[in-house]
Each structure stands twice: as C-alpha cells, then as structure tokens.
C-alpha cells in the first residue's frame, strides 16, 4: 500500500498500532458517494481486498470486537478469533452466534431487555453484561470490558451503534476505508441517528488501487500516534 500520510518504512501492523491503551477504534467502509452498504444491504458488497486486509489486521490485533446486534444479524456474524461483544437493547443473541463456544460471544444489554433471560441461558451469566436499566450505558460497558482486561476495543459498527458511541465521546479513532465506487440508492451512511459534532484529525492515509484507507483521531488532540505528521 502507498503511504500518503504516515511512515513509509513502517509495516501495516505498525501503521495501525494503537498509540495508547485503553483505545477504542471504529472501523467502517464507505463508497465515494457515502454509502455504507451496497444494494443488498450489506457492507460485504462494497468492500474489497485492500479493505479486507486492514479489516482482518484490526480484528487480529484487538482484544475484543464490539458490534451492534443489527449488524451482527445483517452480516451474519460468526464467532471470531477475538471475543465478539454484541450490543442489543432487546437482549437477543443473533442466530449465527448462538452456537459459539462459551466465552467467544458476550452480550451487552440492559436490565429491561425482553430477551435477557434467554440470553443468559444461551451464553451463561458471565457472558451477559447488564449495563443500565432501560438503555445500554455505553460508557459503563466500555468500563466493564476494560475491567476484564479487554482494553483495545474495535467497533465494527453499525451506523447506529457508532453514532451512539460517538455521541458519548467514547471513540478515540475512526479507521475508514473509501472504496472507489458509487452506488446511489438510499443505503445508510456510516453513522445514523441524531446530529453529531465530532472533529477529526488525520493520522494515516494509505492508497491501494484507488482505495483510500485512513485513520482519524476523534477529539484526541493530546495523543500522538505512529502515523502522526511532523
């Protein structure tokens, strides 16, 4: 990959290393016209080999993957090398994660979740994090994951979970890929929900076959990183 901003001699793993722990990175992909999915409603139809290379690297190097239940359902998430933490107000465990080995899937939900008892029966009480009464307290969730030693967190979306994490000021970094395609339609953007005002500063920019991959720090002017300029 061509390094446009960042250290041209660093490996990809070095270029994407977290500058400190704890660290919460969100990784999202978008087309040039801002779509977060293709016509089939999945991000799998817009990503490509360069995006997949970084997606796999970020999964491999994190402590746990945070994902909204909507994305886990839409994308058919299965168990991964790192624990998958599904965030759900309803407390439902996505079907494709139900047969996972104990400990590979955690559910973050709230006390009022209608499917809470079923989730506890399916995953075991240790794997169900009840954060908040009627809403999932995302700061409480992040704190609970840190307390378990899961300090390098990767959020893979979706747009509603990402927007809520951003609104709560919990996201340190956005890793975003822009694929060289336009798809029109009415697909979602990488965030959804109420207006946000989050400022970003670039720390890394890579290019491969027209795909642009970058890292932006979000409201973290104090933290320098491996891709920093100057």
Alpha-carbon distance of 162 to 118, in angstroms, equals 26
In the sheet that holds 105-109, the strands lie side by side as 2-5, 200-208, 211-218, 173-179, 23-31, 152-155, 64-68, 84-87, 105-109, 128-130
Judged by CB under 6 A, the residue of 6, 18, 25, 43 near ligand NAP is 43
Q: Is 88 in the site for ligand NAP (CB under 6 A)?
A: yes
Q: Is 48 in the site for ligand NAP (CB under 6 A)?
A: no
Alpha-carbon distance of 174 to 59, in angstroms, equals 14
Of 138 and 204, nearer to ligand NAP (C-beta) is: 138
Using the structure block, give the residue that is written with the tokens 């959804």: 192
**From 9-17, 116-124, 187-195, 214-222, span contacting ligand NAP (CB under 6 A):** 187-195
Q: What is the CA radius of gyration of the chain?
A: 17
Name residue 106's beta-bridge partners. 85
Q: How far is the CB of 228 from ligand NAP (least distance, A)?
A: 24
Judged by CB under 6 A, the residue of 1, 10, 144, 192 near ligand NAP is 192
Give me the residues that bind ligand NAP (CB under 6 A), please.
Answer: 28-30, 36-37, 41-43, 68-71, 74-75, 87-90, 92, 136, 138, 156-161, 164, 188, 190, 192
């Amino acid at each position: 990959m061509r390094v446009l901003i960042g250290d041209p001699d660093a490996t990809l793993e070095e270029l994407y290393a977290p500058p400190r722990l704890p660290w919460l990175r969100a990784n999202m992909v978008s087309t040039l016209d801002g779509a977060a999915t293709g016509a089939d409603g999945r991000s799998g139809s817009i990503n490509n080999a360069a995006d997949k290379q970084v997606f796999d690297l970020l999964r491999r190097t994190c402590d746990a993957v945070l994902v909204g239940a909507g994305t886990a359902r839409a994308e058919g998430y299965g168990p991964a090398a790192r624990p998958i933490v599904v965030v759900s107000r309803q407390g439902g465990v996505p079907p494709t994660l139900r047969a996972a080995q104990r400990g590979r899937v955690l559910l973050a939900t709230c006390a009022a979740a209608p499917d809470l008892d079923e989730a506890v029966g399916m995953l075991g009480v240790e794997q169900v994090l009840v954060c908040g009464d009627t809403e999932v307290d995302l700061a409480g969730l992040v704190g609970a994951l840190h307390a378990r030693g899961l300090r390098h967190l990767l959020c893979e979306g979706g747009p509603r979970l990402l927007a809520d994490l951003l609104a709560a000021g919990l996201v340190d970094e956005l890793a975003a890929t822009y694929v060289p395609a336009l798809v029109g339609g009415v697909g979602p953007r990488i965030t959804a929900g109420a207006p946000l005002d989050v400022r970003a500063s670039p720390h890394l920019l890579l290019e491969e076959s027209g795909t642009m991959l970058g890292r932006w720090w979000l409201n973290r002017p104090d933290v320098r990183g491996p891709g920093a300029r100057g």
